[in-house]
Amino acid sequence: METKKLYIGGEWVDGPLSKPNINPSNTADIIAEYACGQADQVQQAVAAATSSWPTWAASTPQQRFNVLDFVGTELLQRAEELGTLLSREEGKTLPEGIGEVQRAGYLFKFFAGEALRNSGELVQSVRPGVWVDSVREPIGVVGIVTPWNFPIAIPAWKIAPALAFGNAVVFKPAELVPGSAWALAEILSRSGLPKGVFNLVIGKGSQIGKVLVEHPDIAGITFTGSIEVGGQIAAACGRNMKKVQLEMGGKNPLVVLDDADLDVAVQVAIQGSYFSTGQRCTASSRLIVTEKIHNAFVSAMIEKLGTITVGDALKKETHIGPVVDQSQLDKDLEYIRSGVSEGARLACGGEVLKRDAPGYFLAPALFTDSRPEMRINREEIFGPVASIIRVKTYEEALEMANDTPFGLTSGICTKSLKHAQHFKQHAQAGMVMINLPTAGVDYHVPFGGRKASSYGPREQGSYAKEFYTTVKTTYTMAG
């Protein structure tokens, strides 16, 4: 089987080792072998990016637009093929995989436009005859470290703005899903970028990721992943005075009020909690439901879950694909056992399912009668597991929604404008959803959270430039 290589300094190079990319819907299906790099290859990638960066920083907005537009166009044209690869390596369903590739395409198109919209400010000085302008300049070489659950959208929403604003990039994707990252790198290799401006290093985070994060020539690290690794990266960047942007976990609440439309609430809860196998940082995992609608909501959720098909991500009839790997499946099962032992009622699901091929299939689990202090309501599970917490009033629901160390998304289902408006103002989260799933965001507006979910400037939309640029203020006196 051919081994897919690393991309360093404009060349495809082998690593000392390689690893198979395994399909979680069928572990006998090996997608391809991917090279794993080592520390000195990270050094080479940073050196290549450092030497080519001035050329790219001096490029015109038109050149940057052309590169990003080329990548966006190809992603959109190949959405079905690359979406199939994505679903095969990560396990989300085919429509979800294709949708994610399309989103990556639109992200590149959006940031192609942002390259043209990088305007500054000109003001009159407080001193006579002096003018002051402020412009945004690239920060230098950006290190990009991404997780496995959005193998192409997250790389896209970091690589596209980095390049749009004139930075060079060293990209380290999650070692579990190198296929989509490699395909994106291959398109970038033909996009017209000068050699060395974009580099791909694949390998273990604790080894090569660490070297990248600690490298003195890296100006900033943008990371999405777990809170544990995020904390280590923030500390390393702090020590070395690097810019840092972290997007981490969630424990997102969905409040369902008595006056909610029951069908809408169930649809929103099922979508938000279980689609993409619940492996989304924005997934709803705490369903906070007021008294009068509680029993009807529980019955409707159980009925709806009974109609959901779990299976091979590429099969047409599948609603929910497999869990990404054995260790995530073990983690999900451990949380399910902990919910039961702490006294929550497992109303449905939670068992490992057998399918035609060997894979990591888990029936979506719903807990009822859960209490806020239980581990299943405090810690991020990152699987198809959600729990219902029963409350008396809207005020109690809001308090419980905010009672978490995380603050990524927060949702409410209600027909009351008064409650929706109040919730919007008082939810302690970076993103609020009203009668919509907590997961599922647009590509042209800011993305990010509060508290332990995020650290540093927002990603995406016009806010992305805060991380990828630095401001220079110039005072001019006409001589």
Residues that bind ligand NAD (CB under 6 A): 145-150, 172, 174-175, 205-206, 209-210, 213, 224-226, 229, 232-233, 247-250, 281, 380, 382, 408, 453
The rounded distance, in Å, linking the Cα atoms of 151 and 146 is 8
Nearer to ligand NAD, 162 or 174 (CB): 174
Enter the tokens of residue 305: 């879950």
Nearer to ligand NAD, 250 or 321 (CB): 250
Nearer to ligand NAD, 50 or 276 (CB): 276
Closest separation between CB of residue 227 and ligand NAD, Å?
Answer: 6
Closest separation between CB of residue 407 and ligand NAD, Å?
Answer: 10
CA distances from 182 to 21, 99, 173, 179, 191 (A): 12, 18, 9, 5, 14
Q: Reply yes or no on whether 247 is catalytic.
A: yes
Find the catalytic residue in 100, 281, 413, 459: 281
Closest separation between CB of residue 410 and ligand NAD, Å?
Answer: 14
Distant-in-sequence, close-in-space partners of 479: CB < 8 Å, separation ≥ 6:
none
The rounded distance, in Å, linking the Cα atoms of 456 and 448 is 9
Closest separation between CB of residue 466 and ligand NAD, Å?
Answer: 16
Closest separation between CB of residue 112 and ligand NAD, Å?
Answer: 23
Find the catalytic residue in 90, 100, 114, 247: 247
Q: Reply yes or no on whether 348 is catalytic.
A: no
Nearer to ligand NAD, 174 or 401 (CB): 174
Nearer to ligand NAD, 196 or 407 (CB): 407
Closest residue to ligand NAD: CB criterion: 205
Nearer to ligand NAD, 206 or 307 (CB): 206
Active site residues: 247, 281
